[in-house]
Structure 1
Amino acid sequence: MKKSTMLAFTAAAIMSVASVTGYAAGAPTYDDNLILKNPIMTPSVGSVVLVPVASPQTVQALHTYVDAWRNAEVNYTQAKVKHDNHEKLTKAETKWLHSKDKHNYADYFRTHSLGRVHGFEVAFNWNGENRNKNEYEFFDMPKYNEKSGFVNSYGFNVLRGMVDQINAVIQRQKEIGGPMTAEEASALEDAILDIMAQDQEHVNNEDLRHMMNETIWYAAKETVKNKASEEPTKEEEAKVDLRKAINEPMEPSAPHTIDLRKAIQQ
């Protein structure tokens, strides 16, 4: 064996042993604040923000989600009032009446948002509420202990913390019957965006900002898609009973509003 080859082989062997014996219990040898329990210095907002929170795409997805939820609650309530009054329902109204039998906008959003957090946790090897020691290729990260509790990664703490706050707001909205007016829908949107904005004040990692946006964007888009399959289509709602429309006398036009939330609670 040539001398140069022998030296290279020896050096590689020494480095391999060092990685097994020395690095296994040490800290990461690269700069990844998101995987550590807490960065050495807490990230703060820089002068230049490349990825805003919330992004325009996330804002639009949230608006679509809240608007779809409000529309569903109004149609569901109208159908329930007719059902409780023993009035005949159209096929579309029957579908609206049963649209919440299995799933709802709040629980779907929670499922998708938490699922996205878990996806990032796995993809980036974050610690996240796990009672076992996490052994990485070159270092170890402790997990749960009685004194300190869970030792989670910074990226997990930020992302999961934001998602938990948002889901708490959405669940409270669900408890009062969902958004049923434009004012309630606007207030819900603002509450969610306020949480994202508050978290933004302490995050200047652009990758983490992207994950924050992507998680909420994805949860909103997936929820709307899932619920659309359980609700009447525009074509189903547009069908008119022509015989009934012809035979029924026309009622004088007059402004008449109904408090749907009050009607359904009576």
Structure 2
Amino acid sequence: MKKSTMLAFTAAVLMSAASLTGHAASAPTYDDTLIVKNPVMTPQLGSVVLVPVASPQTVAAVHDYVKAWQNAEINIAKAKVKRDNHEQLTKADVKWLHSYDKHNYADYFRTHSIGRVHGQEVFMNWNGENRNKNEYEYFDMPKYNEQDGFTNSYGYNVLRSMVDQINAVIQEQKKIGGPMTDEESQALEDAILDIMAHEQEHVNNDELRHYMNDTIWFASKQTVKNKASEEPTVGDDHEVDLRAAIAKAPVNQPESRKVNLRDAISR
């Protein structure tokens, strides 16, 4: 190896070692406002919004979620009245009552929305409610202490705050009974979207806006999907009264045509 090349290689090794020695205490050297605790400058709403909150897809998903919840509450209430009056329950009635006993729209939404936040936390390498010092490649997040609390990443703080507020509204709706009227459904839908709009006021990061939309969209869609597997289908509402069907059957049925196999073979 030439002397000049050897000197260059040695210098590179020494510089690399020096960099690694002090990397744990240094701040990130790249522009990622979502991973650090607080951005250097608090993002303000920009004049150009590429990803709105809530997006049209999220608005539609929230609407479907609320209306599915309303439909379930109405049918469950009807089934309860029939049961309490000792009326005969249909197959659909039994399924509605069973779906009420298993899970509910509020708790499913909470599970999926918080789960989505933690999924983003892992995927984006965010620090979120971590009681231990979290060492990243070129910097670290200090561990939990009683004075300062958790050192969460900015992206985690925004996303979890929005989700917690929405779940508080949904859980309150669960306590007073799910939405039973169109007015109650619209009020719940508006409350969810108002929280999303309010949280957008101090976010001009389109990537974070995407995660905000994705979390609520996923929780809404997955909840409806889960509950659909527990609720009656269209076919469950169709029942056949066998006694009535037999009574209505034509009396004079023509005799079925019989075939003489021997004659048929001989021909």
Matched, 1:96 2:84: no
Q: Indicate conservation of the 8 Å contact 1:143/1:152, yes or no.
A: no
Q: Indicate conservation of the 8 Å contact 1:51/1:210, yes or no.
A: yes
Partner of 1:51: 51
Pairwise CA distance, 1:11: 3.6
Q: Indicate conservation of the 8 Å contact 1:129/1:143, yes or no.
A: no
Structure 2: which 5+ runs fail to align? 248-267
Provide the rounded CA distance (Å) in 1 between the counterparts of 2:233 and 2:7.
72
Structure 1: which 5+ runs fail to align? 248-266
SS in 1 for 2:52: coil
Question: Are residues 18 and 242 of structure 1, via their aligned partners in 2, closer, same or farther at CA, if it must alter by over 3 Å?
Answer: farther
Matches within 5 A, 1:3-82: 3-82=3-82
The alignment-based identity, stated in percent, is 77
Q: Render the CA deviation track for 1:18-76: whole Å, top value 9, x for unaligned.
A: 23212211100111111111111110010100000000000000000000000001011
Larger of the two Rg values belongs to structure:
2
SS in 2 for 1:100: helix
Q: Indicate conservation of the 8 Å contact 1:117/1:159, yes or no.
A: yes
Provide the rounded CA distance (Å) in 1 between the counterparts of 2:218 and 2:164.
15
Pairwise CA distance, 1:240: 5.4
Q: How many residues align?
A: 247
Letter in 2 for 1:131: R
Partner of 1:182: 182
Q: Indicate conservation of the 8 Å contact 1:127/1:143, yes or no.
A: no
Letter in 1 for 2:88: K
Provide the rounded CA distance (Å) in 2 between the counterparts of 1:202 and 1:245.
66
Query: Given the two structures, how large is their TM-score scaled by the length of structure 2?
Result: 0.88
Which deviates the most, 55-64 or 121-130?
121-130
Letter in 2 for 1:25: A
Provide the rounded CA distance (Å) in 2 between the counterparts of 1:35 and 1:21.
22
Partner of 1:145: 145
Query: Given the two structures, how large is their TM-score scaled by the length of structure 1?
Result: 0.88
* Runs (4+) off by over 6 Å: 244-247
Partner of 1:156: 156
Provide the rounded CA distance (Å) in 2 between the counterparts of 1:12 and 1:31.
25
Letter in 1 for 2:103: H
Provide the rounded CA distance (Å) in 2 between the counterparts of 1:2 and 1:239.
91
Pairwise CA distance, 1:4: 5.0
